[in-house]
Structure 1
Amino acid sequence: MIKFKQINFWLFTIAMMPLLAGAQPKPAYNELQVFDHSFFTYNGNDLRSANGAPGPKYWQNKANYLIHASLIEKDTLIKGDVSIGYTNNSPDTLNYLWLQLDQNLFRADSRGAATTPVGGDRFDVKGYHKGGYQIESVSVTYMGKNYLVKPVINDTRMQVRLPFAIKPHGDQITVKVNYNFNIPNYGADRMGKLSVKDGMIYQLAQWYPRMCVYDDVNGWDTLPYIGTGEFYCEYGNYDYYITVPAGMIVAASGDLQNPRQVLTAVQNKRLAMAAQSDSSVNIIKEAEVGLPGSRPTQSGTLTWHYKMRNTRDISWSASQAFIWDAARVNLPSGKKGMASAVYPVESKGNERYGRAAQYLKHSIEFYSKNYFEYPWHSAFVVAGVALGMEYPGIVFCSYKIKGDDLWHDVTHEMGHNWFPMIVGSNERRFMWMDEGMNTFINGYASNWFNHGEYADTSSAAVRMTRSLLKERDPLMTAPEVMVDGGQYYYKTALALNILRNVVLGADRFDYAFNMYIKRWAYKHPLPADFFRTMNDAAGEDLNWFWKEWFYTTWKLDQAVTGVKYVKNDPAAGAFITIENLGEMALPVSVKITEQNGATQQIKLPVEVWQRGAKWTFKCNSTSKLTAVIIDPDRQLPDIDRGNNVFKVSE
């Protein structure tokens, strides 16, 4: 049924046709929109400097965790308690605290369940509505006194209203929560359980109540966990104890503190060998899975004790079905680490997880050498139900994938330990800051690994053009409503590659990009902090670039539209006219071929488009031109390559 407004619009259009017939179509390009000097909405200040660095008064709160949790397999239940030592470094007095209860996504009445499309998606609850936290008790300790508190729970958030005020500038409080929850079968592709031949594989994430972040931008950041948007967590130290059936192996974030109690003498000896080996060492072999001698005891339970410092989260996995491989990691400073892979017999073999420990090891070494040294010691890749999910020091990948897909999944999920586990951006608001930056560095890791075994030799710009043509939402769109979430990954990565290889050059880009990582490691950057750092450290006003790539869905269409010889003499040079037919502006590269076989490539800066949509420049030719090609190396996502080539007639 046609709406009345639509009818009125078409009647108006028909009436105006005689007037419009003689009018020329307005060019899509508008230089005043592109080169907009009012790009930043706030000036630099004491908290976030104009150059993109944390300001002299930048502050950040801290949350230290002590956790005891048990996996009760007969009930598929996690039962535990968490004590959070919270430090208020802010200049504000706090009358209440907010915690994240992400397991409440799996309640039947959750916002995530209500906002999942009827057809489902990758991050929905998959019909599992028996989950959610059971909060048994909440108490706080302040100034030596204990208080029992009745929490206020709304969806995936819990407010703790205090009978006192937490003072600014370093005041401390301890919050203790006793809780339990049922483990979902498929936890929105971030956790869950998988039945395999030799038992069940549990991948546990968002498994304890966590502090919300209180920052200088939003105060308490209490966006609910709906499914697509990931996480925003405070940094701190973790000390945690996981009790599981004795036959299970626990792979977890951080370093194992009691290997002699939970591993056999043979397994500890093999771990020591792996610590000296660049090749993978079998810690638990396929033939040993499930055998009585593979565990210190087969009855009762064992408690695994792990620690991890200065991290924003932790995760773990447990199973009696694990084969376990490990290898040494070599860090630039000379420190050593350990990369491990645990997987079921269904995932064995060189085309599957037999190389996973090596994929993990080489990923850590590459990212450490080129961006920022891995700050922890250990890392695990776990084969299970989750397609691909990242946590500090541990990544979950599907037990089904193999070959190049497994490499790309491992290096992508491990790359997230740099974005956002080290550079702690807000994933729930700005998904491109973790997925896109990570996808960008993944490409270089893939090109490097094993002399390019899994390198992508195609043109990313050309490959992405079709996707960009259908793009409906800019990268600043919230994850839950983004029509094509792949844009967060690939459009961001393409933008950064163009910035590096076309706009700035590798040296200037790499220096500025690494400066951003160094400045914001273990902190909470905003998009503007990234933009300002890149501008300042590279020495370039890139606001036009940030606007068009991250705030719009503008398209690029550069064209060669004319060639004239100086004084009609090819030997005197040629005037070449190019036009910008799309909304986006980028630097120009033009390849010119002459009749005598001579070629030259002319590069023009983006500023040629500051004057308008048309630009004419002179090239020093020596004979007639046969062809002029714009973007000859196919580095840009030009939506119409048909007008990129101008063949000069005789």
Structure 2
Amino acid sequence: MNKSLIIFCSLLVFLGLAPMTLLSQTTASNYDYQEAFNPFFYTHNGNEYRSASGMPGPKYWQNAVDYKIAAKLNDQTHEIRGTVTMEYTNNSPDKLDFIWLQLDQNMFSQEGRGHQIVPLTKSRYGDAQSDFDGGYAIKSVKLGSGKDAEHLITDTRMQVFLPEPLQPNGGKTTISIDYSYIVPTYGADRTGVLKTQNGEIFAIAQWFPRVAVYDDILGWNVTPYTGPGEFYLEFGNYEVDITAPADHIVVLGGELLNPEEVYTPEQQKRLEQAKKSDKTVLIRSAEEVTQASSRPQGKKELTWKFRLEKAHDVAWASSPAFIVDGAKINLPSGNTSLALSAYPVESNGGNAWERSTEYTKASIEFYSKLLMEYPYPIAVNVAANLGGMEYPGIVFCSYKSKAAGLWGVTDHEFGHIWFPMIVGSNERFHAWMDEGFNTFINDLSTEAFNGGEYYRPLGDANRLAQALTRPDLEPVMSTPQSMQERNIGTLAYRKPGFGLTLLRNEILGPERFDRAFRTYLERWAYKHPTPDDFFRTMENVAGENLNWFWRGWFKYNWRFDQGIVMVIPEASDANGQGIITIENFEKLPMPVVVDITTESGKVHRVKLPVEIWERNNKWTFKAPTNEKIVAVQLDPDKVYPDHNPDNNRWEAPVK
């Protein structure tokens, strides 16, 4: 027992209070309240670009780029040939002498850094033994004038040098690139080719040179693509023409402009029915997949024309094997969108992909009410050889998924429309700002779907703490590239997701949390927030200093352990009350919830704010009853991540 507790106990005995029970204390406290509540959490003040309140500042800016892309798929060689023309707008206050582009496909060349760092053990991001040698073949790079542009390619980045500096505050330039590449069979779980009995499914992403972000945080964001860190891109509009074999159906996350040229008359009719139906409508059935009449006749190739607005990427899929079905998505404004699913016969039946459109519709309708209205005219779910990957208006999910697994991956990938497709955070650095936020909202959506058909509560947070705060974990605020691959699921998804649940349900309460969370989304829709912008918005809108929480749960991997160290179950004075002393043993503080059971069987719940730990390692308080105490339970609902619950309970000795 430490000295201060000995003195306190002696005083109680001297005053004649009733006998006490001391719990053994074998571990010294690691808690330091000055460290936990250090006021200097933020490392910079607000400025004209980003307000100290967490909102964009009065001079916030971001650059923009519009794309026109024409590409052709050769399904025999797996080659894509294309031309991309990008009109880039420099809204920054800086003159730009060059523009950086992302060439993500270069990761899949033998010389690509992403390929070279894949371990010999199994990895989501590649196979070190693979002899596939991919990457872009760049035929030409031209400026708007038609002149060749000086450029330099380094791994997954291209630097295009401008003959004259691009002027700030609205200066524009145009770059056109002719390119080709071979689609990898398994492209780091982001893109790939799946063989099915009726032909291959091409899931096409990261398929054209894209402009890197220039922002007020780092200037040019030129972190190479190596697999774990996903994307950080500028917003703009897309016009896309995809030429594919005539027996293919092409789907893309944008508006199809020429359905009369690429669908049969019957399929066009069914497509229009789907746009008006709350029930799933088959546009191309499993039986029709092998029927030549289910595709327009007389041509070897067809060109599909699409438009997508206010997005920071575009992806598509193509296959002769697709069953296609769809249904109407009802949006809060009264507008509608179209849920569309494309999958092979292998994925059809047995509570599998025939429910994909139902899941897509339910997920998007839920988030449109909870957060912000879905912005795209279509939402496409494609069965592919990927575990799950999201792009604006389209997602790729495993063709093997069914039942709860298919609901879960569909709901998760479409949840990404809000984070990071609408709120464009930097996924290369802050994976938790899209994966963790999305994991959090997925729990709410799953509870609501179909009366909780697939809902499983998070359960005992004490048990979760064993995994979420393991001492060998990196902090949540690490880049995904600097996490052990086995830890990414915990650090990017589960731990930040649970952290937001904890913040909502136990620390702020749903009303304050929900208002602050929606405010963050509204402030940063189609913009580029940083972690500080999120933290500051939550604090300012909710009216709470949360630096202790951000510091312990996100910045550091602090553990949490509250324990009962002393109970005086009764006092000698008839009007007296029992006394309880608790201690914070680990670095992370939390509010206190304790249930006190008296000999009559009544349970009294006491809640104490986190501020009791601002200048104390221990806290002593009176029980709200003059009955004799027979049991005390900390965290009775097991909602806090207490990794050592053994010291959470006290019971009176049996006489």
TM category (shorter chain) comes to: over 0.9
State the Cα distance separating 1:290 from its structure 2 match.
Answer: 2.8
Secondary structure at 1:500 match in 2: helix
Q: Within 2, Cα distance between the matches of 1:174 and 1:290?
A: 44
TM-score by length of 1: 0.94
Partner of 2:94: 92
Q: Within 2, Cα distance between the matches of 1:154 and 1:527?
A: 29
Aligned counterpart for 1:110 among listed residues 97, 109, 112: 112
| Alignment of structure 1 residues 512-527 onto 2, 5 Å | 512-527=516-531
Question: 2:441 matched to 1:441?
Answer: yes
Partner of 1:152: 152
Q: Within 2, Cα distance between the matches of 1:596 and 1:460?
A: 28
Partner of 1:587: 591
Secondary structure at 1:611 match in 2: coil
State the Cα distance separating 1:42 from its structure 2 match.
Answer: 0.2
State the Cα distance separating 1:488 from its structure 2 match.
Answer: 1.2
Partner of 2:639: 635
State the Cα distance separating 1:570 from its structure 2 match.
Answer: 7.2
Partner of 1:353: 353
Secondary structure at 1:420 match in 2: helix
Question: 2:421 matched to 1:417?
Answer: no
Describe the superposition over 1:317-343 as per-residue Cα deviations: whole angstroms up to 9, x where unpaired: 000100011010000111111101110
Aligned counterpart for 1:68 among listed residues 67, 70, 75: 70
Partner of 1:220: 220
Q: Within 1, Cα distance between the matches of 2:574 and 2:118?
A: 64
| Alignment of structure 1 residues 451-466 onto 2, 5 Å | 451-459=451-459, 461-466=461-466
Aligned counterpart for 1:532 among listed residues 536, 543, 557: 536
Q: Within 1, Cα distance between the matches of 2:469 and 2:648?
A: 17
TM-score by length of 2: 0.94
Describe the superposition over 1:60-87 as per-residue Cα deviations: whole angstroms up to 9, x where unpaired: 1000000000001222100000000100
Partner of 2:610: 606
Counterpart AA for 1:475: V
State the Cα distance separating 1:130 from its structure 2 match.
Answer: 1.5
State the Cα distance separating 1:25 from its structure 2 match.
Answer: 6.8
Describe the superposition over 1:331-385 as per-residue Cα deviations: whole angstroms up to 9, x where unpaired: 0111111101110000001411010101010000000000111111101100011
Equivalent residues of 2:570, 2:628 under 8 A apart: no
Partner of 1:21: none
Q: Within 2, Cα distance between the matches of 1:306 and 1:247?
A: 18
Secondary structure at 1:572 match in 2: coil
State the Cα distance separating 1:117 from its structure 2 match.
Answer: 1.4
Partner of 1:401: 401
Secondary structure at 1:237 match in 2: strand
Aligned counterpart for 1:30 among listed residues 18, 24, 32: 32
Partner of 1:101: 103
Q: Within 2, Cα distance between the matches of 1:567 and 1:385?
A: 68
Q: Within 2, Cα distance between the matches of 1:41 and 1:203?
A: 42
Partner of 1:129: 132
State the Cα distance separating 1:612 from its structure 2 match.
Answer: 1.8
Partner of 2:266: 266
Following TM superposition, the consecutive aligned residue runs of length 4 or more in structure 1 with deviations greater than 3 angstroms are none
Q: Within 2, Cα distance between the matches of 1:322 and 1:49?
A: 49
| Alignment of structure 1 residues 186-225 onto 2, 5 Å | 186-225=186-225
Q: Which structure is higher in RCO with an 8 Å CA cutoff and minimum separation 6?
A: 2
Describe the superposition over 1:180-239 as per-residue Cα deviations: whole angstroms up to 9, x where unpaired: 000101011111101101000000000000000000011110000001110001000000
Counterpart AA for 2:473: R
Q: Within 2, Cα distance between the matches of 1:298 and 1:239?
A: 26
Q: Within 2, Cα distance between the matches of 1:188 and 1:468?
A: 26
Deviates further, 24-33 or 446-455: 24-33
| Alignment of structure 1 residues 282-293 onto 2, 5 Å | 282-293=282-293
State the Cα distance separating 1:27 from its structure 2 match.
Answer: 2.1
Equivalent residues of 1:460, 1:494 under 8 A apart: no
Counterpart AA for 2:500: L
State the Cα distance separating 1:468 from its structure 2 match.
Answer: 2.5
Q: Within 2, Cα distance between the matches of 1:348 and 1:298?
A: 29
Deviates further, 472-481 or 179-188: 472-481
State the Cα distance separating 1:629 from its structure 2 match.
Answer: 0.5
Secondary structure at 1:164 match in 2: strand
| Alignment of structure 1 residues 570-581 onto 2, 5 Å | 572-581=576-585
State the Cα distance separating 1:560 from its structure 2 match.
Answer: 1.4
Partner of 2:57: 55
State the Cα distance separating 1:26 from its structure 2 match.
Answer: 4.9
Partner of 1:11: none
Q: Within 2, Cα distance between the matches of 1:163 and 1:251?
A: 39
| Aligned Cα root-mean-square deviation (Å) | 1.3
Q: Within 2, Cα distance between the matches of 1:83 and 1:462?
A: 54
State the Cα distance separating 1:166 from its structure 2 match.
Answer: 0.4
Partner of 2:483: 482
Q: Within 2, Cα distance between the matches of 1:42 and 1:87?
A: 28
Aligned counterpart for 1:83 among listed residues 77, 81, 85: 85
Q: Within 1, Cα distance between the matches of 2:549 and 2:611?
A: 12
Partner of 2:653: 649
Alpha-carbon spacing, 1:77–1:533, altered in 2? closer, same or farther (3 Å):
same
Structure 1: stretches of 5+ with no match in the other structure: 1-23
Q: Within 2, Cα distance between the matches of 1:461 and 1:139?
A: 57
Q: Within 2, Cα distance between the matches of 1:384 and 1:298?
A: 29
Describe the superposition over 1:292-311 as per-residue Cα deviations: whole angstroms up to 9, x where unpaired: 21111264100000101000
State the Cα distance separating 1:120 from its structure 2 match.
Answer: 3.4
Partner of 1:119: 121
Partner of 1:301: 301
State the Cα distance separating 1:147 from its structure 2 match.
Answer: 2.2
Partner of 1:17: none
Q: Within 2, Cα distance between the matches of 1:420 and 1:178?
A: 29
Alpha-carbon spacing, 1:592–1:208, altered in 2? closer, same or farther (3 Å):
same
Equivalent residues of 1:247, 1:299 under 8 A apart: no
Equivalent residues of 1:28, 1:583 under 8 A apart: yes
Q: Within 1, Cα distance between the matches of 2:132 and 2:110?
A: 5
Counterpart AA for 1:74: Q
Question: 2:384 matched to 1:381?
Answer: no
Equivalent residues of 1:570, 1:624 under 8 A apart: no
Partner of 1:429: 429
Counterpart AA for 1:552: Y
Secondary structure at 2:504 match in 1: helix
Partner of 2:4: none
Counterpart AA for 1:340: L
Counterpart AA for 1:480: Q
Q: Within 2, Cα distance between the matches of 1:301 and 1:128?
A: 31
Partner of 1:626: 630
Equivalent residues of 1:591, 1:602 under 8 A apart: yes
Equivalent residues of 2:120, 2:127 under 8 A apart: no
State the Cα distance separating 1:481 from its structure 2 match.
Answer: 2.3
| Alignment of structure 1 residues 153-172 onto 2, 5 Å | 153-172=153-172
Partner of 2:18: none
Counterpart AA for 2:142: S
Q: Within 2, Cα distance between the matches of 1:109 and 1:229?
A: 19
Q: Within 2, Cα distance between the matches of 1:201 and 1:105?
A: 22
State the Cα distance separating 1:568 from its structure 2 match.
Answer: 2.9
State the Cα distance separating 1:461 from its structure 2 match.
Answer: 1.9
Partner of 2:275: 275
Equivalent residues of 1:572, 1:620 under 8 A apart: no
Counterpart AA for 2:483: M
State the Cα distance separating 1:554 from its structure 2 match.
Answer: 0.8
State the Cα distance separating 1:569 from its structure 2 match.
Answer: 4.7
Equivalent residues of 2:192, 2:385 under 8 A apart: yes
Q: Within 1, Cα distance between the matches of 2:403 and 2:599?
A: 48
Structure 2: stretches of 5+ with no match in the other structure: 1-25
Equivalent residues of 1:106, 1:128 under 8 A apart: no
Secondary structure at 1:373 match in 2: coil
Q: Within 2, Cα distance between the matches of 1:476 and 1:355?
A: 37
Alpha-carbon spacing, 1:478–1:549, altered in 2? closer, same or farther (3 Å):
same
Alpha-carbon spacing, 1:404–1:460, altered in 2? closer, same or farther (3 Å):
farther
